[in-house]
Amino acid sequence: MENNTVISIQNLIKRFPVGSEFFTALKDITLDLHKGEFTGLVGPSGSGKTTLLNIIGGLDSPTEGKVRVLNQPLNNTNHNERARLRRKYMGFIFQSYNLLPVYTVFENVELPLILNKMNKEDRIQKVNQAIEWVGLTNKRNSKPNMLSGGECQRTAIARALVHDPVLVMADEPTANLDAENSHNIMKILTKLNKELDTSFVFATHDEKIMGYLKRIIRLEDGNIVDDKKIKKENI
């Protein structure tokens, strides 16, 4: 394991109970993700992308195998400890945004910092900065039902990044967006990857995302069938 490894997965197997049987969604996955990478998990529907992403993020646990986050094993940690690691080091962006409807943009973005017990003065500064990154300063007091889809997703991105996570996971982040908004979102994430050295991992089958990726891991039927780095001269 290299010292810039963010996530290290060894011989991961994930089985789901289905009736009296088991369905094996991930078969034998060994994989390292490194600092600053911009990775896509791609492959057909049902190939295991979301399952793998959820295990990487500690939202779900493996049936067999080892997962280490920044060199700390997740296997031996209890639910609370996993939640703490997640809150501290990780950010999540979902297809359906998952914003809280009664909160404003500012309050939605502030939430991870409250959970991390940051003081109010620092919170205000971090939230304003994150909202500026995604170009929503003029919408900071709006609630989600007053926002467009692209603005909701940009709010979710600010929320995922506000606590300076090491790794951000995004599951189909552009699925509900039109082409222009999808490219805007990917440009923002590419910029943050470059400027803050934040690592990103996407689960996606959106062709528009492909062109931005620096590493593409292809899943088929619960196996990694291809893993390649893309040379980016202009990004």
Ligand X SMILES: Nc1ncnc2c1ncn2[C@@H]1O[C@H](COP(=O)(O)OP(=O)(O)OP(=O)(O)O)[C@@H](O)[C@H]1O
**Structural contact between residues 58 and 85, judged by C-beta atoms closer than 8 angstroms:** yes
When the beta carbons of 46 and 211 are compared against ligand X, the nearer one is 46
10 Å CB burial of residue 123 (0-12, 13-18, 19+) is buried
When the beta carbons of 45 and 234 are compared against ligand X, the nearer one is 45
User: Chain centroid to CA 169: how far?
Assistant: 1
Q: Which of 194, 152, 192 has its CA nearest to residue 173? A: 152
Q: Which of residues 35-54 bind Mg ion (CB under 5 A)?
A: 49-50
The CA-based diameter of the chain, rounded to the nearest angstrom, is 54
**Structural contact between residues 88 and 35, judged by C-beta atoms closer than 8 angstroms:** no
Q: Which does residue 46 bind out of ligand X, Mg ion, none, counting CB within 5 to 8 angstroms by kind?
A: ligand X
Q: Does 214 bind ligand X (CB under 6 A)?
A: no
Determine the interface stretch with ligand X among 18-26, 71-79, 136-144, 206-214 (rule: CB under 6 A).
18-26
**Structural contact between residues 141 and 173, judged by C-beta atoms closer than 8 angstroms:** no
d(CA 1, CA 11): 14
When the beta carbons of 153 and 204 are compared against ligand X, the nearer one is 204
Tell me how far, at minimum, the Cβ of 219 lies from ligand X, in Å.
Answer: 6
User: What tokens were used for 121?
Assistant: 């003065």
Q: Which of 48, 112, 144, 165 binds ligand X (CB under 6 A)?
A: 48
Q: Does 170 bind ligand X (CB under 6 A)?
A: no
Phi, psi of 84 (to 5 degrees): -65, -45
Q: Which of 7, 8, 37, 51 binds ligand X (CB under 6 A)?
A: 51
| Contact code string over 2-41 relative to Mg ion, x by CB under 5 A | ----------------------------------------
| Contact code string over 194-213 relative to ligand X, x by CB under 6 A | ---------x-x--------
d(CA 222, CA 31): 13
Tell me how far, at minimum, the Cβ of 153 lies from Mg ion, in Å.
Answer: 17
User: Chain centroid to CA 100: how far?
Assistant: 18
| Interacting residue ranges for ligand X, rule: CB under 6 A | 16, 18, 23, 25, 43, 45-51, 203, 205
Site residues, Mg ion (CB under 5 A)? 49-50
